Amino acid sequence: SAHVNGNAATANGVALNGRDSPAESSERLQIVNDEKQFTQELTPQLERWGLRDVGFNYNIVAVFGSQSTGKSTLLNRLFGTTFDVMDETQRQQTTKGIWMCRGKGTSIMVMDVEGTDGRERGEDQDFERKSALFSLASSEVMIVNLWEHQVGLYQGANMGLLKTVFEVNLGLFGKKPQDGTSGRTLLLFVIRDHIGVTPLANLQTTLTADMNRIWDSLSKPAELQDKHLSDYFDLAFTTLPHKILAADKFEAEVRQLRTRFTDKDREDYLFKPVYHKRIPADGVAFYMENIWEQVQTNKDLDLPTQQELLAQFRCDEIASVAIAEFNEQSKSQRKPIEVGRVVEGLGGLMRNWKTQALTRYDRDASRYHQGVYKRKRADLVAVLDSTLSPLFLGQLKNLHKACLSAFKKELLEGLRGEDYSFADVMNKAREKCETRFTQGAQEALLEDTDWTSEEELVLLQEEVANVGDQCRKDETKKMVNLIERNFKRQISEPVDLALNKASADMWDKVLSTFRETLEKAESNYLTKARSFNCTEEENEAALATLRKRAWLALRAKVDEQTADTAILGKLRSHFEESFRYDEHGVPRVWKPDDDIDGAFKKAKEETLELVPRYSKIAPLEPSLEISLPSESPDPLTSTDEFDFPSTLVIFSETKSLDLIARFRRDADAYYVEAKRSTVSSIAQ
Ligand code: GDP
Ligand code: MG
């Protein structure tokens, strides 16, 4: 049958793979070449085998034994692999190095070592030692392959190799790994070409005794003097019949042996968890390469250190993958923040990105050395937070701006119309503004950071207070203007009346009107100012302004009523009143006997008396006298000079004389007219 020889077996393996699984699963990889260089292809190859992301869910088996003892043949039969087998007809050496295949239909990484038989040629024992060391550092099960007739040949080549295995094991696992793995390895002795005369039990006894003898003969470091072989190795034994002479039996037993590698439920399942080296699959390439490097340079192979190095490398790699994705996400909100937008739900987004990055990291990195994993995680968190921090700060700035302008808008809206309490509007707007900011800031603030929005809040509060102050000042001004307008309206008629009448107590009337109206205006101001929360000084200043403006308004009114035409009109009508009308208010018709001169003189003198009355604001009643503080001109506050006493003077002396002269001319005209009227009445 085709199963009989090794080449056919290889061909069969490939054919099987080609039929029911992707071609790559039958690929093999030379992980160490004949130049003793480690491949860069292992990780991609593991990926193609579909093993890269299986975590710890994989197994590694290696083989050990003299040249041409059928190791590759056995592996190919057991695992459906495609390792080179020596061609019987040409007895040609296969390519030197360490090879790896994926066990067909399994998650088993199978390693085969090819080398010249150093012992026969007296060369390159070095490579065997190194490959054994390398295999032990990573394999769970090491198959020790030997012929039945080699058993008990203590001096044989195999025994020398085993001694090597134990020696390197001491170097490897002498120190206890700190990560909780046991460092135990199973040595599975496969006794080939078993004829069946000597039962397995006897072979097993002989081999065990040999093992212990070899163990005892090792020179061990002092601290490991008391260690037994069984502290490091479990031994298992099995036989296989002659592959050619008992081909069917051989095939059947190989199939049985195979299930011991694949069937977890079997009691004699070989890949016990305790043998696992706890290297996550995605770190196997890095780990193996480093181990090989150490082995190559004959450095002490300190596995715990190797595992930590591996963890550092892989955790960094995993973190940078997480960071790259995270950066891509966080970049999306950088622009909006930069142009001043408040990003709705930014905190939620950031939390999400951060959680995703950490989840990704945890999933892959938590399988590695815990100390390293945790340390690198803290580094990762710091990187994530420092990437997000500018977004947070930008969001605060934008939030600050948005809240402030909303505050202004609300304030203006609230102050529209007449009927409002400034303090209420102000407090409501301020509260809303602060609440909005605080809530927005809280949403964007990530837990477990030293971020704070305190400073920004203080800045905002300051600006809100400034805006509020300015607004209050404007409002106060507006109010003072309004009161001033009302004041003007209120004094207009009483002042007109009083000035027209020109009675002796004319100024008493004017001033008492002024006082009453001003008092009303002041109390009006104070009532409103209460809701503005104005300060004492602000009130003082506003009232002083109000008084001064009220006074100037009064003076303007007086000026209007005492302008040249107006005052001359007033004088004229006084004169007319007394000269042209009798005491009953009936117009006089002058007769020749009438005392025109006397009447004229009386009316003129009475009228002229009014000029000094108009010329100065002077009440009869001293308590009605008014006094306001004078002000010198100030270019800073743009106040004009205000000299109160001079505002009491309506006309100067010269002006009075001028008015009197002009009035006389008017009066004289009346006199002439009166005289003429009598002449004409005589003439009739
Ligand atoms: P390796 O060098 O240990 O990997 O050995 P190979 O697998 O290349 O086989 C070397 C030779 O031994 C080949 O010609 C195989 O056909 C032959 N061979 C393989 N398995 C057996 C076996 O179980 N018994 C015998 N007698 N020969 C075998
Ligand atoms: Mg081989």
The SS3 of residue 108 is strand
pLDDT attached to residue 582: 82
Q: How confident is the model at residue 538 (pLDDT cuts 50, 70, 90)?
A: confident
Q: What is d(CA 556, CA 280) in angstroms, rounded to the nearest whole number?
A: 98
The SS3 of residue 96 is coil
Interface predicted TM-score of the whole assembly (ipTM), two decimals: 0.99
Ligand 1 pocket test: pick from 4, 7, 68 the residue with the most ligand atoms within 8 Å of its Cβ.
68
Q: Give residue-wise pLDDT tens across range 439-490.
A: 999 999 999 999 999 999 999 999 999 998 888 888 888 888 999 999 999 9
* Ligand 1 atom 22 nearest Cα: 243
Residue 487, Ramachandran bin (φ over 0: left; ψ between -120 and 50: alpha; else beta): alpha
Atom of ligand 1 nearest to the CA of 6: 16
* Ligand 1 atom 14 nearest Cα: 88
Rounded to the nearest 10°, the torsion over CA 516, 517, 520, 526 is -120
Q: Give residue-wise pLDDT tens across range 17-39.
A: 333 455 666 789 999 998 889 99
Q: What is d(CA 118, CA 158) in angstroms, rounded to the nearest whole number?
A: 12
* Ligand 1 atom 16 nearest Cα: 6
Q: What is d(CA 637, CA 140) in angstroms, rounded to the nearest whole number?
A: 94
Ligand lying nearest the CA atom of residue 65: 1
Mean pLDDT of 124-131: 77
Dmax over CA atoms of the chain, in Å, equals 190
Which 8-state DSSP code applies to residue 222?
G
28 bridge partner residues: 101
Provide the edge-to-edge strand list for the sheet that holds 141-147.
Answer: 28-32, 97-102, 108-114, 59-65, 141-147, 185-192, 233-239
Q: Give residue-wise pLDDT tens across range 53-90.
A: 999 999 999 998 888 889 999 999 999 999 988 876 66
Atom of ligand 1 nearest to the CA of 91: 14
Q: What is d(CA 365, CA 375) in angstroms, rounded to the nearest whole number?
A: 11
649 bridge partner residues: 616
pLDDT attached to residue 9: 34
Determine the angle formed by the axes of helices 506-532 and 454-501, rounding to 10 degrees: 170
Atom of ligand 1 nearest to the CA of 69: 3
Q: How confident is the model at residue 591 (pLDDT cuts 50, 70, 90)?
A: confident
Residue 247's CB: how many other CB atoms inside 10 A? 15
Residue 120's CB: how many other CB atoms inside 10 A? 10
Atom of ligand 1 nearest to the CA of 75: 7
Ligand 1 centre and the CA of 284: distance in Å?
A: 30
The SS3 of residue 301 is coil
SS (H, E, C) 52-81: CCCCCCCEEEEEEECCCCCHHHHHHHHHCC
pLDDT attached to residue 220: 83
The SS3 of residue 678 is helix
Locate 454 and state its tokens.
């305190």
Backbone angles phi and psi of 90, in degrees to 5: -105, -15
Q: Give residue-wise pLDDT tens across range 232-284.
A: 889 999 999 999 999 999 999 999 999 999 999 999 999 999 999 889 999 99
Give whichever of 12-21, 126-135, 563-572, 670-679 has the largest mean pLDDT.
563-572
CB 512 within 8 A of CB 623: no
Q: Which residues lie near ion ligand 2 (Cβ < 5 Å)? A: 71-72
Q: Give residue-wise pLDDT tens across range 417-449.
A: 777 788 888 899 999 999 999 999 999 999 999
Ligand 1 pocket test: pick from 86, 194, 239 the residue with the most ligand atoms within 8 Å of its Cβ.
86
Ligand 1 pocket test: pick from 73, 113, 191 the residue with the most ligand atoms within 8 Å of its Cβ.
73
Locate 369 and state its tokens.
């050395």
Ligand 1 centre and the CA of 229: distance in Å?
A: 30
Distances from the Cα of 140 to the Cαs of 58, 59, 658, in angstroms? 10, 7, 130
* Ligand 1 atom 6 nearest Cα: 70
The residues lining ligand 1, judged by C-beta closer than 6 Å to any ligand atom, are: 6, 67-73, 85-86, 88, 192-193, 242-243
